[in-house]
Amino acid sequence: MSLVIIFLTIIVTLIVIFKLRLKFSFGWCQSQKCLSGKTVIVTGASTGIGFETALNFAKRGAKVILACRNYDRAAKARRLIIEKTDNTNIYVKLIDLGSFESVKGFTRDINQNEDRLDILVNNAAVAQTDQRKSKDGYYLGMQVNYFSLFLLTNLLLELMQKTGSARIVNVSSAVAKLAFRVDFSDICKNFEDLNMYCRTKLYIILFTKELARRLKNTTVTTYSVHPGAVKIDGCKTTTMWWIFDSIRNWFSKTAEEGAQTSIFCSLEKNIEMYSGRHFEDCRVVGDYNTVGVSGLQETLWDMTEKLVGIKQEEQIYRNENCGDSFLLHFYKNIRM
Residue 307 neighbours by CB distance under 10 Å:
18
pLDDT at 57 > cutoff 90: yes
Q: Mean of the pLDDT values across residues 66-74?
A: 97
List the single range of 47-61, 64-78, 219-233, 254-268 with lowest mean pLDDT: 219-233
pTM for the model: 0.83
Q: Which of 138, 146, 197, 288 is catalytic?
A: 197
pLDDT (0 to 100) of residue 104:
96
When pLDDT is cut at 50, 70 and 90, the band that residue 26 belongs to is: low
- In the chain, the percentage of residues whose pLDDT exceeds 90 is 56
pLDDT at 141 > cutoff 70: yes
Strand, coil or helix: 283: strand
Q: Mean of the pLDDT values across residues 93-115?
A: 97
pLDDT (0 to 100) of residue 240:
47
List the single range of 53-67, 89-103, 171-185 with lowest mean pLDDT: 171-185
Active site residue 138: no
pLDDT (0 to 100) of residue 208:
97
**Strands across the sheet with 63-68, in order?**
90-94, 63-68, 39-43, 119-122, 166-171, 220-226, 278-280, 283-285
